[in-house]
Amino acid sequence: MKWDLASLAPPPSGPAVTARARGCAERWRGRVAGLGPRDLSRLLAELGHVQAGLTHLVSYASLHQALDVFGEQGAELALAAGSAAEDVDRAVSFFEAEWQAVSEDRVADLLADPALAPYRHLLRTVRAAGAHLLPPAQEEALAAREPLAQAWALLHDRLRAPLDEAWGDLAHADRDVRKRAYDVLVRGLEPHAASLALAYDALVADRLAVDRLRRLPGPRALSDFDNHLDPAAVDGMLAEIEAQRGLAQRWFTHKARALGGKSLSPWDERAPLLAADRIDLPTAVDTVLTAFARISPAFAWTARRIVTEGRVDAVPRAGRVSRTFSLPVPSERTCFVLVGFDGRPADVLDLAHELGHAVAFTLAAEAQPTLVFDAPTALGEVPACVAELAVLDLLATEGDPAQAARAAEHWVDRCVTTVFRQALITSFEQSAYDLRRAGRVLDATLLGDLWQQAHSDCYGGSLTLGRLHRLGWMCIPHLFHSRFYNYAYAFAGLSALGLHEVRGRDTAAFGRDFTAFLRTGGSAPPHEQLARLGLRIDDPGTWRSALDAVRSRLDLLTDPRTDSRPLHRSEA
């Protein structure tokens, strides 16, 4: 199962995208303040047309680069796409500046008109962003630095790529394979620690400098704004996760005992709990689609279409990037999925996760204008996490009883990993940014200390820390490609747990409401969308209740009447 990129229409050239953006600017510059609602809607649709062409170009480059990370074609396409993106940003920046200059009364009148209904949240967000925008010349200068940041991130990808197989083998069913993979990773990462620390230090220092120029209150502020989340809600979630670290420690202690030890060995952190039998790709696809049908018919039908149209690449091979991702092409109303499928149960969940993204992208692109189809990251991760839970529920309720029991344990393992590990990475990031802001250079020794401390704080004595727990930050691409990205997974994981409880009350109603949620995309703020589904993200009780659901399942697993055997006696 590989991508058929020949089926993707060639994108417009960089110069064509730029010309389209400049033409839009020439027609509308200086007119925004005087536009009525219908003309403003026309302008936004034209800006969406420009954005669709640019996204097509960027996605086309990214897809080729993903298949050959060392190749010249992808790198050249990416450079052309990056140059076009800078030109487009310059050409259409007039809109944000002019919209922010419109009076509040006039804005209120415009947003009340039905013609602008799909764009209301976007227009409010653009207004809010004005508080941290710099003069146009400075914004252009900042945009011109992006190729340098991309180069640091590409350096990370290229240094890590040869170790992808070993990273995957940390989740192998055979403990000896995991131990060998652990040693390979340590030996492979240590020589690059100084270089990647230099890259990360440069990226963090640069981001902090931009924050000072924009007068942002902290290094996470930009991510909170991009996620359209109230910082207080994010703080509340992270605080609740930190307060309940004992849940993660209790799970790892249980997992260690099940694997035959008192504490979890460093190479057993990602050990699988499902049966070791390999799963072929057609079976995995059928499992995912069956689970999706439990959510809603539209969810399953859209996922099947993505698979049958050749939009999924699941065959690991030399030169292909290690990341799993879903990449939308809104102008084509479709999405491409990349996973590394090697027949492990965890690979089935990765397939479900990325297809969950792809379904959400596709349904939203069909229902919303281009400028607002894409949900912010934290909200966008929710469908993917719901998809994972659906597959785990299917495995835990159907088929062989022994396999179902293992799936129930893996359900807890996946939830703990999604929530606590991602919060751990966020804690590491916050410490790194705080120290860099205080004048400390983020060298390999300091980053190793921070990574080790974050694991110690989260897992306590339930996990034995090894050499990789000083090097693991090097394996997290989000640290290099963005910042404070990972808390979005914790947010989505807890939100999905909350929705799982909602779904249990009325599956048919949930299916209808969830499909409507997917079609909303980014046209409404996350707190409103989740409130329609029954979740209040400003209430700490929401996060507490979600973690209680994990605790309840762990209680069942650790009940002496049902918890008397190791999971893998052959490994003890």
Partner residues linked to 337 by β-bridges: 312, 326
Are 131 and 240 in the same domain? no
Are 445 and 551 in the same domain? yes
Domain boundary among 144, 170, 200: 144
Check which CATH number belongs to the domain holding 496 and give it.
1.10.1370.20
Q: What is the DSSP annotation of 155-196?
A: HHHHHHGGGHHHHHHTT-SSHHHHHHHHHHHHHHHGGGHHHH
Q: Please give the pLDDT value at position 399.
A: 67
- E strand or H helix at 337: strand 334-338
Q: What is the DSSP annotation of 185-234?
A: HHHHHGGGHHHHHHHHHHHHHHHHHHHHHHT-SSTTHHHHHHTT--HHHH
CA distance 157 to 153: 6
The total number of structural domains in the chain stands at 2
Q: Of 417, 486, 512, 496, nearest to 458 (Cα)?
A: 417
Are 558 and 411 in the same domain? yes
Tens digit of pLDDT per residue, the chain (572 long)?
888 778 888 888 889 999 999 999 999 999 999 999 999 999 999 999 999 999 998 888 888 878 776 666 667 777 788 888 888 888 888 999 899 999 999 999 999 999 999 999 999 999 998 888 888 788 878 877 877 888 888 888 888 888 888 888 898 888 999 999 999 999 999 999 999 999 999 999 999 999 999 999 999 999 999 999 999 999 999 999 999 999 999 999 999 988 888 889 999 999 987 665 778 899 999 999 999 999 999 999 999 999 998 889 888 777 777 678 888 888 888 889 988 888 888 889 999 999 999 999 999 999 999 999 999 999 999 999 999 999 988 988 876 777 777 888 888 998 999 999 999 999 999 999 999 999 999 999 999 999 999 999 999 999 999 999 999 999 998 999 999 999 999 999 999 999 999 998 999 999 999 999 999 999 999 999 999 999 999 999 999 999 999 999 999 888 755 443 343 433 32
- E strand or H helix at 307: helix 297-308
Are 530 and 388 in the same domain? yes
User: Dihedral of CA 239/241/243/249: which sign?
Assistant: negative
CA distance 185 to 289: 34
- Residue 445 domain-assigned? yes
CA distance 456 to 472: 13
Strand residue runs (E) in 265-324: 312-313
Phi, psi of 325 (to 5 degrees): -160, 165
- Number of residues assigned to the chain: 572
Cα Rg of the chain, angstroms = 24
Are 418 and 532 in the same domain? yes
Domain boundary among 78, 113, 144: 144
- Residue 38 domain-assigned? yes
Are 388 and 523 in the same domain? yes
Are 267 and 392 in the same domain? yes
Which residues, in sequence order, are CB contacts of 113 under 8 Å at separation 6+?
37
DSSP, collapsed to helix, strand or coil, labels residue 35 as: coil
Domain boundary among 114, 144, 174: 144
Q: Give the tokens for residue 534.
A: 């029954």
Are 112 and 244 in the same domain? no
- Residue 312 domain-assigned? no
Q: Of 542, 521, 534, 545, nearest to 228 (Cα)?
A: 521
Q: Give the tokens for residue 113.
A: 């008109």
Are 260 and 132 in the same domain? no
For 97-114, letters b (16+ CB in 10 Å) and e give bbbbebeeeeeeebbeee
- Residue 409 domain-assigned? yes
CA distance 49 to 45: 6
Q: Please give the pLDDT value at position 396.
A: 84
Check which CATH number belongs to the domain holding 93 and give it.
1.20.140.70
CB 142 within 8 A of CB 134: yes
- Residue 158 domain-assigned? no
Which residues, in sequence order, are CB contacts of 35 under 8 Å at separation 6+?
43
Give the range of the structural domain holding residue 411, as residue numbers without chain letter: 231-276+375-567
CA distance 153 to 330: 25
- Residue 165 domain-assigned? no
462 DSSP assignment: G
- Residue 64 domain-assigned? yes
Query: Parallel, antiparallel, or unpaired for β 325-329 and 312-313?
Result: unpaired
Q: Please give the pLDDT value at position 571.
A: 37
pTM of structure: 0.89
Q: Of 226, 212, 193, nearest to 488 (Cα)?
A: 226
CB 175 within 8 A of CB 267: yes
Are 238 and 383 in the same domain? yes
- Residue 302 domain-assigned? no
Strand residue runs (E) in 261-332: 312-313, 325-329
